[in-house]
Structure 1
Amino acid sequence: MADRDSLVAAVARQGAAVRELKKNGGAAADITAAVVELNALKAQLNALAEPVGIVVNKKALEDLLLRKMFVVPSFEIYGGVGGFYDFGPPGAAVKTNLLNLWRRHFLLEDDVLEIECTNIMPEVVLKTSGHVDRFTDLMVKCTKSGECYRADKLVEDFIENLLAKNASALTSEEQEKHRLVATKAESLTPDEMHAVIQEYGIVSPGHGAVLSAPVPFNLMFQCHIGPEGHNVGYLRPETAQGIFLNFRRLLEYNAGKIPFGCAQIGNAFRNEIAPRGGLIRVREFQQAEIEWFVHPEDKSHAKFSQVASQRLTLFPKANQLTTGKTVVLTVREAVDQKLIANESLAYYLARTASFVAQLGIDMDRVRFRQHLDTEMAHYACDCWDLEIQLSTGWVECAGHADRSCYDLQVHAAKSKVEMVGTLKYDAPRAVDVVDIKVNKGKVGKAFKSDMVLVNKALEALRVDDAAALAFEATLAEAGTADLHVDGKSFTFARDMWSAAKVTKMVSEEKFVPSVIEPSFGVGRILTAVFEHTFYAREGDEKRGVMAFPAVIAPIKVAVLPLSNAKEFNPVVQDLERKLRAVCRSLSVCAAMWKRGGLVFV
Structure 2
Amino acid sequence: MAHQTTTRVGEPFDRTLMEQLMKRRMFYTPSFEIYGGVKGLYDYGPAGCALQANIVDLWRKHFILEEDMLEVDCTSLTPHEVLKTSGHVDKFADWMCKDPKTGDFFRADHLVEGALEARLKGDKEARGQKVEEKEEDPKKKKKKGPKSTAVKLEDTVVQEYEEVLAKIDNYSGDELALLIQKYGIKNPETGGDLEPPTSFNLMFQTTIGPGSALPGYLRPETAQGQFLNFAKLLEFNQQSMPFASASIGKSFRNEISPRSGLLRVREFLMAEIEHFVDPQGGKKHPRFDDVKHIELALLNRDTQLEGKTTVDRISIGKAVETKLVDNETLGYFLARIHLFLNKIGVDPNKVRFRQHMANEMAHYAADCWDAELLTSYGWIECVGCADRSAYDLSVHMKKTSQPLMVRAIRKEPLKVEEWQIDIDKKKFGPLFKKDAKTVETAIEQLSQDLREKLNLDLQKEGKIEIDVPGVGGGKVELQKGVVEIERRTRVENTREYIPNVIEPSFGIGRILYSLIEHCFWTRKGDEARGVLSFPPPIAPTKVLLVPLSSSPYFHPHLQSLSRKLRTLAISCRVDDSSASIGKRYARNDELGTPLGITVDFQTVKDSTVTLRDRDSTSQVRSSEDEILKAIKGLVEGVETWDDVRNRLPAFEGQEVD
TM over 0.5: yes
CA distances 1:469-507 after superposition (whole Å, capped 9, x unpaired): 343466467787775979x99445565988776432121
Q: Counterpart of 1:76?
A: 33
Residue aligning to 2:522 = 536
> Is 572-581 or 252-261 further displaced after alignment?
572-581
Give 1:520's aligned residue. Answer: 506
Q: Distance in 2 between matches of 1:583 and 1:314?
A: 37
* Worse-superposed segment, 476-485 or 232-241: 476-485
Tell me, in whole angstroms, the C-alpha distance in 1 between the residues paired with 2:36 and 2:486: 70
Give the structure 2 partner of residue 503 of structure 1: 489
Tell me by how many angstroms 1:221 deviates: 1.0
- Residue among 294, 310, 316 paired with 2:294: 310
Change (3 A) 1:184 1:576: closer
Counterpart residue number, 2:405? 420
Q: Please give the alpha-carbon distance, in whole angstroms, between the structure 1 residues aligned to 2:582 and 2:150.
A: 55
The SS at the match of 1:339 is coil
Counterpart in the other structure of 1:221? 204
Q: In the alignment, does 2:360 pair up with 1:403?
A: no
Which residue, out of 274, 278, 285, partners 1:301?
285
Query: How far off its partner does 1:540 sit?
Result: 2.0
Structure 1 residue 586: deviation in Å? 1.6
Shift of 1:384: 1.6
Q: Is the 8 A contact 2:364 2:392 kept in 1?
A: no
Q: Which has the higher helix share?
A: 1
Counterpart in the other structure of 1:600: 588
Distance in structure 1 (CA, Å) of the matches to 2:215 and 2:97: 25
Q: Deviations over 1:58-93 (max 9, x none)?
A: 111111111111111111111110010111111111
Structure 1 segment 162-177 matched on structure 2, within 5 A = none
Contact 1:141 1:212 in 2 (8 A): yes
CA distance in 2, matches of 1:314, 1:153: 24
Partner of 1:251: 234
* Structure 1 residues 498 and 329, CA gap change in structure 2 (3 angstroms): farther
Which of 15, 18, 24 is the equivalent residue of 1:67? 24
2:70 counterpart residue number? 113
1:93 to 40, 50, 60: 50
Question: How many residues were matched structurally?
Answer: 531
Would you say the 8 A contact 1:74–1:84 is kept in 2? yes
Tell me the equivalent position of 1:10.
Answer: none
Q: Does 1:58 align with 2:15?
A: yes
1:277 is aligned to 260
Task: Indicate conservation of the 8 Å contact 1:150/1:274, yes or no.
Answer: yes
Tell me if structure 1 keeps the 8 A contact 2:354–2:369. yes
Quick one: distance in 2 between partners of 1:566 and 1:331? 59
Distance 2:252 2:422 in 1: 47
Classify 1:595/1:365 alpha carbon distance in 2 versus 1 (closer, same or farther; 3 Å): closer
Deviations 1:350-372 (CA, angstroms, capped at 9, x unpaired): 11111101122111221222223
Match of 2:371 among 382, 386, 396: 386
State the match for 1:370 in structure 2.
355
Q: Structure 1 residue 583 and structure 2 residue 562: aligned?
A: no
Q: What's 2:128 paired with?
A: none
User: In the TM superposition, what is the alpha-carbon distance from 1:439 to its structure 2 partner?
Assistant: 7.9
1:329-350 CA distance string (max 9 Å, x none): 2232222222222221111111
Task: Please identify, of 246-255 and 311-320, the stretch whose mean Cα deviation from structure 2 is larger.
Answer: 311-320
Q: Deviations over 1:352-404 (max 9, x none)?
A: 11110112211122122222344435653322211122222222111111232
Looking at structure 2, the residues matched to 526 and 433 of structure 1 have their Cα atoms a distance apart, in angstroms, of 57
- Give the Å deviation of 1:508: 1.0
Q: Distance in 1 between matches of 2:467 and 2:429?
A: 12
User: 1:152-191: CA deviations, max 9, x gaps?
Assistant: 76798799998978999xxx99xx9xx99xx9997558xx
Code of the residue aligned with 1:281 in structure 2: it is R
**Amino acid of the structure 2 residue aligned with 1:572:** L
Secondary structure class of the residue paired with 2:239: coil
Q: CA offset at residue 574 of structure 1?
A: 1.2
| Aligned mates of 1:579, 1:431 — CA distance in 2 | 67
Contact 2:269 2:509 survives alignment (8 Å): yes
- Cα 1:417–1:429 shift into 2, 3 Å: same
In the other structure, the counterpart of 1:50 is none
Identity of aligned residues (%): 42
1:475–1:205 Cα change, 3 Å: farther
With over 3 angstroms needed to count, the CA separation of the structure-2 counterparts of 1:281 and 1:501, relative to structure 1, is farther
Q: Which amino acid aligns with 1:337?
A: T
1:273-330 superposed Cα distances (whole Å, 9 cap, x missing partner):
2111211111011111100101111222221221122222222334444675322222
Distance in 2, Cα, partners of 1:150 & 1:248 = 39
Q: Hey, what does 1:572 align to over in structure 2?
A: 558
Larger-gyration structure (1/2): 2
Q: Distance in 1 between matches of 2:223 and 2:56?
A: 17
**Could you report, residue by residue, the CA deviation over 1:216-268 in whole angstroms, capped at 9, with x for unpaired residues?**
54321111111233111110011000000100111111111110000000111
What do the CA deviations read for 1:75-117 (whole angstroms, capped 9, x no partner)?
A: 1111110010111111111110001000100111111010100
User: 1-side partners of 2:317 and 2:110: how far apart?
Assistant: 43
What is the letter of the counterpart of residue 578 of structure 2? A
Structure 1 residue ranges without an equivalent (≥5): 1-53, 463-467
Counterpart CA distance in 1 for 2:109 and 2:232 is 43
Amino acid at match of 2:85: T
Q: Distance in 2 between matches of 1:458 and 1:392?
A: 60
Change beyond 3 A, Cα 1:203–1:333: closer
Which of 249, 258, 261 in structure 1 is aligned with 2:244?
261
Structure 1 SS opposite 2:255: coil
Alignment partner of 2:81 out of 121, 124, 128 = 124
| Cα 1:566–1:143 shift into 2, 3 Å | same
| 2:322 counterpart letter in structure 1 | Q
Take 1:310 and 1:569, find their aligned partners in 2: how far apart are those partners? 49
Contact 1:301–1:347 (CA under 8 A) maintained in structure 2: yes
**What is the RMSD computed on CA atoms of the aligned residues?**
4.3
CA contact (8 A) 1:472 1:498 kept: no
Distance 1:528 1:382, change over 3 A: same
In 2: Cα distance, 1:201 partner to 1:502 partner: 68
Aligned to 1:290, which of 273, 283, 304? 273
Pairs within 5 Å for 1:281-360: 281-298=264-281, 299-321=283-305, 324-360=309-345
Distance 2:363 2:204 in 1: 27
* Range with greater deviation from structure 2 (213-222 or 225-234): 213-222
What amino acid does structure 2 have at the position aligned with 1:85? Y
The answer on whether the counterparts of 2:394 and 2:404 sit within 8 Å (CA) in structure 1 is: yes
